[in-house]
């Protein structure tokens, strides 16, 4: 029961409004009823001189459900515009994973004076009617409310998803030219503004760490975006659909999400979650390439911003451009200094690293200098000569040591292997090799390093 002020006060809450009636003493009683499982922190009541209005929402199963809005009278116009746009987002989210989880009742907004918003079940509280805020709180109805994180270290299951779904609403309905790209760019710039930090909350006693925007929100959202790239649309959306179906109206841990994605995709994600959930930081890529006739050789190196991850195993997207043509390729990058051979049917003039921002990476470099480049010292440094070579290849090391080496052709087939003496230089007999392009790999106590050479007789 609430005191009335001039007959205007209204009470907003979870579920459906069952009755609204006068009681004794000039008071009015509002009876709201909610029939779904609800976490205690999502129960809420708000009372003031609200103006109330509804929109119809057309859900994918044919249900027509109300969106109920309780707004400050002075903000009525912007509230009507903003909430009408959020009807489209609700209909989109309803078609994306599983049905809106509280469709027998409603979705709604109640305005409040605090900063930001709060995803109270079926009735989000919001300070304004901006697209991003409304989409974020709406997304929580699935991620946070229907499935609630089971521990503070898993808060990204609420906030990373809500952040990502806001991004998806911009992919579906751009609010300006380049909206979706800019949304991703802003996330990447925020996350990489510092070299460390994990999605997993490493200090669950620290509220600031739990609700860290850079990590629990932005990096959590990019953890999902990269999974979508790694697994593909069908397995990513299908895995999350099965996670929601099984974990709905319960508490979930990160391992629950991982297992559902693994079951749907058939891929182990233990390494991925070790790097991107528990591990800290991000990679910087160094892409070098060289083309002879049609054969394009590409070498990928990466540096990690934080020592907790030794290597980020990721599919790397490259866009090849030349002669007015464009070819997008995906390289499964599993090791340092990995070489790839590609066969584009045009002369490549430019190689663009990750043009659509699928990866969380920073300061990446792409150069056409595969042969002449000097590596940065994190691998064995060496030179080979002569190049081209006809009979004996000389290898010169930066320091005398014993190393295993092998020579493979451009398809990766190993043709010659051996062990070097402990010396600054040694020679390899390559008289058995026919004309062509080959790769010499050296493995010492550092990473495998490769050099390309040409046999010409």
**128 or 447, CB closer to Zn ion?**
128
Residue count (the chain): 457
**162 or 226, CB closer to Zn ion?**
162
* Type and span of the H or E element at 265: helix 254-265
Least gap, CB of 7 to Zn ion (angstroms): 35
**94 or 159, CB closer to Zn ion?**
159
Least gap, CB of 103 to Zn ion (angstroms): 21
* Sequence-ordered list of residues with C-beta below 8 angstroms from that of 185, at least 6 positions apart, any chain: 357
* Sequence-ordered list of residues with C-beta below 8 angstroms from that of 203, at least 6 positions apart, any chain: 209
Per-residue buried b or exposed e for 354-365, using 16+ beta carbons within 10 Å of the residue's own CB: beebbbbbbebe
3-state SS class at 137: helix
Phi, psi (degrees; rounded to nearest 5) at 162: -60, -40
In DSSP terms, 326 is beta-bridged to 321
Phi, psi (degrees; rounded to nearest 5) at 224: -70, -45
Least gap, CB of 395 to Zn ion (angstroms): 56
* Type and span of the H or E element at 176: none
Name the strands in the sheet holding 283-292, side by side, starting at the edge strand that comes first in the sequence. 338-342, 295-304, 283-292, 365-367
**162 or 269, CB closer to Zn ion?**
162
How far is it, in rounded angstroms, from Cα 300 to Cα 284? 10
Site string for Zn ion, 23-52 (x = CB under 5 A): ------------------------------
How far is it, in rounded angstroms, from Cα 392 to Cα 455? 10
Burial class (CB in 10 A: 0-12, 13-18, 19+), 51: middle
**159 or 301, CB closer to Zn ion?**
159
In the complex, which residue's CB is closest to Zn ion? 162
How far is it, in rounded angstroms, from Cα 420 to Cα 427? 9
Number of residues counted as binding Zn ion (CB under 5 A): 2
How far is it, in rounded angstroms, from Cα 14 to Cα 35? 10
* Residue 189 per-residue DSSP state: H
Least gap, CB of 162 to Zn ion (angstroms): 4
**105 or 137, CB closer to Zn ion?**
137
Least gap, CB of 117 to Zn ion (angstroms): 7
**216 or 420, CB closer to Zn ion?**
216
**141 or 420, CB closer to Zn ion?**
141
Angle at 375 between CA 370 and CA 376, to 5 degrees: 145
Closest CA to 390 of 427, 426, 433: 433
Tokens encoding 372? 């002449």
Least gap, CB of 159 to Zn ion (angstroms): 5
**146 or 162, CB closer to Zn ion?**
162
Least gap, CB of 217 to Zn ion (angstroms): 7
Least gap, CB of 35 to Zn ion (angstroms): 24
Least gap, CB of 80 to Zn ion (angstroms): 24
Site string for Zn ion, 148-167 (x = CB under 5 A): -----------x--x-----
Least gap, CB of 139 to Zn ion (angstroms): 8
**97 or 358, CB closer to Zn ion?**
97
3-state SS class at 63: coil
Binding residues for Zn ion, rule: CB under 5 A, are: 159, 162
């Amino acid at each position: 029961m609430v005191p009335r002020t001039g007959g205007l006060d209204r009470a907003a809450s979870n579920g459906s409004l069952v009755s609204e009636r006068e009681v004794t003493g000039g008071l009015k009683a509002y009876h709201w009823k909610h029939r779904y499982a609800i976490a205690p922190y999502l129960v809420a009541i708000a009372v003031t001189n609200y103006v109330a209005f509804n929109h119809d929402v057309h859900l994918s199963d044919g249900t027509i459900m109300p969106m109920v809005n309780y707004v400050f009278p002075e903000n009525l116009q912007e509230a009507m515009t903003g909430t009408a746009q959020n009807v489209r987002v609700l209909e989109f989210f309803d078609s994306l994973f599983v049905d809106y989880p509280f469709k027998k009742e409603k979705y709604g907004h109640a305005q409040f004076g605090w900063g930001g918003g709060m995803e109270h079940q079926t009735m989000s509280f919001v300070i304004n009617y901006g697209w991003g805020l409304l989409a974020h709180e709406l997304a929580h109805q699935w991620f946070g409310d229907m499935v609630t994180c089971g521990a503070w270290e898993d808060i990204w299951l609420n906030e990373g998803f809500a952040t990502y779904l806001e991004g998806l609403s911009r992919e579906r309905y751009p609010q300006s030219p380049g909206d979706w790209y800019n949304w991703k760019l802003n996330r990447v710039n925020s996350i990489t503004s510092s070299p460390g930090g994990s999605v997993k909350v490493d200090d669950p006693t620290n509220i600031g760490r739990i609700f860290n925007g850079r990590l629990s929100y932005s990096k959590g959202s990019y953890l999902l975006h990269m999974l979508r790239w790694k697994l593909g649309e069908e397995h990513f959306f299908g895995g999350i659909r099965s996670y929601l179906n099984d974990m709905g109206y319960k508490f979930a841990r990160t391992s629950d999400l991982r297992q559902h994605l693994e079951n749907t995709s058939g891929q182990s994600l233990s390494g991925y979650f070790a790097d991107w959930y528990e591990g800290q930081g991000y990679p910087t890529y160094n892409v070098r390439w060289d083309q002879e006739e049609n054969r394009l050789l590409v070498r990928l190196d990466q540096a990690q911003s934080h020592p907790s991850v030794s290597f980020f195993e990721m599919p790397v997207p490259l866009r090849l451009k030349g002669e007015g043509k464009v070819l997008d390729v995906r390289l499964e990058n599993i090791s340092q200094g990995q070489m790839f051979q590609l066969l584009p049917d045009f002369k490549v003039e430019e190689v663009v690293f990750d043009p659509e921002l699928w990866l969380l990476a920073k300061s990446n470099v792409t150069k056409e200098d595969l042969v002449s480049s000097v590596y940065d010292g994190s691998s064995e440094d060496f030179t080979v000569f002569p190049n081209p070579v006809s009979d004996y290849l000389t290898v010169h090391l930066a320091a005398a040591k014993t190393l295993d080496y092998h020579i493979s052709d451009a398809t990766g087939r190993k043709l010659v292997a051996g062990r070097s003496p402990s010396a600054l230089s040694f020679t390899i007999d390559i008289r058995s090799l026919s004309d062509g392009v080959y790769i010499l790999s050296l493995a010492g106590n550092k990473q495998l390093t490769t050099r390309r050479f040409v046999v010409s007789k």
